[in-house]
Chain A
Amino acid sequence: MKKLLRYIKPYIKECILSPLFKMLEALLDLAVPMIIAQLIDVGLAGGGDTGYIIKMCCLLIGLGLVGLGFSVTAQYFAAKASVSFVARVRQALFSHIQTLTYTEIDTLGTSSLITRMTSDANQVQNGTNLTLRLIMRSPFVVFGAMIMAFTIDKASGGIFAASIGVLSVIVFGIMLSCVPLYKKVQSRLDGVLEITKENLTGARVIRAFCLENEETEEFSRRNNALTKMQEFTGRISALMNPLTYIVVNLAIVWLIHTDAIKVNTGLLTQGAVVALYNYMSQILVELVKLASLIISITKAVACGNRIQAVLEIEPSTVAPEKTIGEKSGEYAVEFNNVYLRYKNAAEDSLSAIDFKVKHGETVGIIGGTGSGKTSLVNMIAGFYRTREGSVLIDGIDVKNYSDEELIDKVGIVPQKAVLFGGTIRENMRWGNENADDNAIMNAVEAAQAADVVKAKGGLDAVIEQGGRNLSGGQRQRLTIARALVKNPEILILDDSASALDFATDASLRKAINEKCNDTTVFIVSQRTASVMGADKILVLDDGEAVGAGTHSQLMENCAVYREIYDSQFKKEGE
């Protein structure tokens, strides 16, 4: 939670002013029992003084009015500080997630990230708001009442001090035991969120397997577990009010018992006893507020810690601000004996990859499922770093590139065709913020997606979140277009034509060849037809390069390649 506090710094003024105004209001509250004591001891003394009584009552109303002013001001500052603070926290969290690399994204669960940005952040906001409003007021009233008690009578003040001590133990004890419990509640909530999300994204599969009932049961189970935890936590925190009530009332009993003796001997007046009693009652009222405040604070702190945990995840690699090193023109891409091992993996996913690609060449990468094709191209884009060896682009190690320059150079069409909510034009501009319609349409045509754009009604047509209103093939072509809009020096097509029919796939490759003459193109595919025309084909098997060369070379000397080819082209004589 501590680190989050820096986001509240800009609102430090509000954070000071809000409790301050609350304190002023509390000060006025503290004056009330004294005024009543005066009213009894002076106003009612000797048959009564009507003028004095009216004066005192007007004073009470006046104090109320001033208190209202203070309070409203305090509420505004508290609302402002807490809302803005949490808005900044959310922004920081979102921005931070944007800096994480593929390695962290792989290990972080999205559901839990989403709860942290939404319900956790809300809890922090409520907690902060309440804290600012009450943090000074309640302790101030409690200790203020104690001090007032001391000024009236030392022994009575002692009773106040003792009971406040006991009350603190109760309040803090309950608070401390609740923090870990709230954490558990929140993690069970994550479980409920996860299954809800799954049943939306996997609706088709779940229904195809008729799992609706099982899923409903599982949901009920998790929901129940959450409820049980909430109830348990509730029972503990519900102890706060009754315990404080007992302590305060026993203190009152003790107070009146000792004061009775003092009044009897003339050391105290009846009015003073009433005042002392009133102060003790005020303590109870404030404690009830303090208790609810503390529950909110513990919740907020637990939630804040969950947010902080994400903020504390450092990106495993940080690109330099500016590219380091001199470019050399010979090769566009070089792999020098590259090894890749994913985090927490036992084995290398790529080993001893070594090849060089000249500018403008087309490279085909082919191999079985899980052979490391995607891993290899992801390394060109710098998404993962080598365990050993180096990947160079234009003679500079990928890790020495600034993010900006690397992204500018490399255009990648990922396997999973994802588009985002917005118009087609907006989606296309992900490639290049400044692309005009002409440039976009050129790319769209090259990607064989002109008919998609036309069918949807032009570049202004709206794509729903996740591209749900497009078919898989339509999405794929648009994601290719998106990369082409960028006009990258290196274009990577990571099995991006899998949902396309052969005719479309063929015209796509043709168009890319024509349009991107000096672009270095990597085509990852499982179809020999897609890579056969490449200048160089790399054959991967289980993370190792088992062959490299042109189609005809490989047909002669690479058994794996031949096997793949045969599996796809043996159309005659089967």
Chain B
Amino acid sequence: MSKKVSAGTLKQVFRHIKRYRLLLIISIVLATLSVAGTLYAPILIGDAIDMIIGVNDVDFEGVAKLLVETGVIALGVAVVQWLMNTVNNKITFHIVRNIRDEAFKKIEILPLSYIDSHPHGDTVSRVIADADQFADGLLMGFTQLFTGVVTILGTLAFMLSINWKIALVVVVLTPLSLFVAKFISEKTYGFFSTQSKIRGEQTAFINEMIENQKVVKAFGREDENIEKFAQINARLEKSSLKATFFSSLVNPTTRFVNSVVYAFVALTGAFAVMGTAFTAGAAFTVGSLSCLLSYANQYTKPFNEISGVITELQNAFACAARLFELIEEEPQIPDKENATVLTDVEGSVKLENVCFSYNKQKKLIENLNLNVKPGQRVAIVGPTGCGKTTLINLLMRFYDVDSGSVSVDNSDIRDITRDSLRHGFGMVLQETWIREGTVKENIAIGKSDATDEEIIAAAKAAHAHSFIKRLPKGYDTPVGESTGGLSQGQKQLLCISRLMLCNPSMLILDEATSSIDTRTEIRIQKAFLKLMQGRTTFIVAHRLSTIREADVILVMRDGSVIEQGNHEELLSKKGFYYELYNSQFDKQ
């Protein structure tokens, strides 16, 4: 193996293989049986040929016996081979399945900062394409590496038993082919990882553009995109050509080395036959030569295959390395061992001296203090980009504070389990997210055991029922990000229906109603009012009508709260809020 394949990757692969060591042993045993049979057959045939010497010099009885044996062995070998292939299939596909599972589990616990800052297409390409390539390589490895190695050892033993001198010639010459294979595969590993990298880049580009194809069309950017794609594609073509060509050199070169070996066996074998003819012994016959030549072929063939497998494995390991890179990514800080489960949430929320920024060079939130009593409605307002969404990231613990603390019901949220914290909050974000599935499944996302009645009731409460009814299949209409069909506002209504169904203790509404018309919004508002009763609520909204009824209004600017109070208090202050409020009506 090339030294560029990191020990870490190997270790990881072996860790996964270990679980299947029983199957692995079975596979090796089957490989040994199959090879033994495959090797024994030529001996029988060689013996048979030796019984067919010439005119009236054929031992028919002996030949018949040998041929029957050959037939039986061939049958046995076939069965064993099939079993072995099946076992190998199982090992490979299961290992890749496990690795995929692991990668996905990691995705679920990655910090959001990772997900926010890495192209999704690249991550997807690791879980899908890289895993696939790895499976291909591994399968080849299992099926051909074992049989290959066993064949080499077996042939060697048989050859030694027939004529040790000729066997020695073979043994001395074959490392040449290994050396060549190793040299080439070392050179190609680099090409393969470049290819993998450019592929990732291309996938990310495809992902970005295809997902937003509508915007691309609206701006007539098709040609520019095609050109940009062509650039990446050309680079990929170049690196693929290198990787493919250089890796494909292994086969012809080792084959050449093999034909040299074959020629030497023929030469020394022929001399040996002559030798025995001279000494009149019966040890080395034409049958033995034919048998030995067939062995020489069989002995070198695995070297061919093994070298082929090695290049394939190089590629596979390059892909696996990318997968393991994802798997070994630092996860979010796990819940503390003694983390408490938040139950019967009262809903007091306290922020003390909170400092936070996404980018350590750019300060964002500094020394934020906030004290929210249970059941209070907190409206967060301020110009765009002032840190309102960030506050939600902190409340939900999507990000951890740099310093200071956020506490719910007087316990620091880092001391309670994430699940119970998030269960405590119900959230509707500005960016609606609908999953592939039916409308019903989308609403029941927070409560998978909800009955149809509950789902419909929730949809009614969110005023989504009337539009859902009009969809082609009602609640069973398939929807999703890529299937389209729903307007932004309808998606938002679905998101609100989700909340209505799971009835959380605290609410976070981030511009939750930005895409809903005000008439509908007023209706939703009524439902929200009911929902908000006795529940602590954080509302981020620009629409002042939404905020008016809040108990506390936080006016944020540049990451800090500059004013705090209720609507009337803030208006009478004639400060920043007053300005914001009046700007709404400057056309009147």
- The yes or no answer to B377 lying at the interface (CB within 8 A) is no
The listed residue (A47, A246, A260, A383) touching B63 by CB distance below 8 A is A260
* Residues of chain A with a CB closer than 8 A to B445's CB: 205, 209, 211
CB proximity to B under 8 Å, residues A310-364: 342, 344-347
For residue A210, CB closer than 8 A to chain B, the reply is: yes
Please tell me if the beta carbons of A498 and B210 are within 8 angstroms of each other in the complex: no
Contacts A109-B483, A242-B82, A383-B218 given; does A208 touch B435 at CB 8 Å: no
Q: B45 — which chain A residues lie within 8 A by C-beta?
A: 252, 256, 277
Contacts A265-B55, A420-B212; A57 near B264 (Cβ below 8 A): yes
Q: Hey, what's the 0/1 contact readout for B109-152 against A, CB within 8 Å counting as 1?
A: 10010011101110111011100110100000000000000000
CA distance A369 to B220 in the complex (A): 28
Which residues of chain B have C-beta atoms less than 8 A from A153's C-beta?
none
Do B301 and A285 touch across chains, with their CB atoms under 8 A apart? Answer: yes
Known: A199-B108, A219-B104, A223-B100. A61 touches B270 (CB 8 A): no
A-B contact count (CB 8 A): 518
> B548 — which chain A residues lie within 8 A by C-beta?
571
Contact A498 B511 (CB under 8 A): yes
A21 to chain B, nearest CB (A): 10
Q: Are B237 and A68 neighbours in the complex by a CB distance under 8 Å?
A: no
What size tier do the contact residues of chain A reach?
Answer: 35 or more
Q: Does A404 contact B (CB under 8 A)?
A: yes
Contacts of B206 in A (CB 8 A): 94, 113-114, 117-118
Check: A212 CB closer than 8 A to any chain B CB: yes
* Alpha-carbon separation in the docked complex, A64 to B260 (Å): 7
CB atoms of A192 and B94 under 8 A apart = no
A54-B267 in contact given A84-B237, A114-B121, A498-B515 (Cβ < 8 Å): yes
A193 cross-chain contacts in B, Cβ below 8 A: 124, 127-128
Cβ contact within 8 Å between A76 and B436: no
Contact A383 B587 (CB under 8 A): no
- Interface stretch (choices B13-21, B153-161, B290-298, B344-352): B290-298
Q: Report A-chain residues with C-beta under 8 Å of the C-beta of B584.
A: 502-503, 506, 529
Is the pair B218, A407 in contact by a Cβ cutoff of 8 Å? yes
Q: For A552, list chain B residues within 8 Å (CB).
A: none
Chain A 102-116 interface 0/1 with B at a Cβ cutoff of 8 Å (1 = within)? 100111111101110
| Chain B interface helix/strand/loop/mixed | helix
Kindly list chain B residues whose C-beta atoms are within 8 Å of the C-beta of A208: 396, 422, 425-427
Q: A231-B93, A526-B516 are in contact. Are A209 and B422 (CB under 8 A)?
A: yes
Tell whether, in the assembled complex, residue A369 and residue B487 are in contact, meaning their CB atoms are under 8 Å apart: yes
Q: Of the candidates B133, B264, B488, which one forms a contact with A495 in the assembled complex, judged by CB atoms under 8 Å apart? A: B488
Indicate whether A499 sits within 8 Å of B384 (C-beta atoms), given known contacts A87-B233, A198-B436: yes
Residue pair A71, B109 in contact (C-beta under 8 Å): no
Determine how close the nearest CB of chain B comes to the CB of A363; give it in whole angstroms: 16
Assess whether B519 is in contact with A216, with CB atoms less than 8 Å apart. Answer: no
Majority-rule SS of A interface residues: helix
B256 within 8 A of partner (CB) = yes
Beta-carbon contact of B422 and A207 below 8 Å: yes
Residue B371, interface by CB 8 Å:
no
- Indicate if A220 sits at the interface (CB-CB under 8 A): yes
Residues in B with CB closer than 8 Å to A369 are 467, 487, 489-490, 492-493, 515-517, 520
In whole angstroms, what is the CA distance A58 to B266 when docked? Answer: 10
**A285–B236 alpha-carbon span in the complex (Å):** 34
| Cβ distance A520 to chain B, nearest Cβ, rounded Å | 17
- Cβ of B82 and Cβ of A238 under 8 Å apart? yes
CB pair B93–A227 under 8 Å, yes or no, is yes
Contact of A499 among B484, B492, B542 (CB under 8 A): B542
Across-interface contacts of A68 in B (CB, < 8 A) = 252-253, 255-256
B587 CB contact (under 8 Å) in A367, A486, A506: A506
Q: Are B583 and A506 in contact (CB under 8 A)?
A: yes
A79 to B431, CA, bound (A): 46
Which of B3-11, B222-230, B406-414 has 4 or more CB atoms under 8 Å from chain A? B222-230
Bound: A270/B51 CA distance, A: 10
The list of the 10 closest CB pairs from A to B, nearest first, reads A473-B384, A64-B259, A369-B489, A238-B85, A249-B74, A71-B252, A407-B220, A234-B89, A503-B583, A242-B78
Q: Could you give 6 example pairs across A and B, Cβ below 8 Å? A: A72-B253, A95-B226, A238-B85, A246-B74, A416-B215, A529-B587
- 19 additional contacts, CB 8 Å, given A207-B396, A238-B82? A40-B290, A44-B274, A47-B274, A71-B255, A98-B216, A114-B203, A122-B133, A224-B97, A246-B78, A266-B54, A277-B49, A369-B489, A369-B516, A465-B119, A465-B208, A499-B384, A499-B430, A499-B511, A502-B544
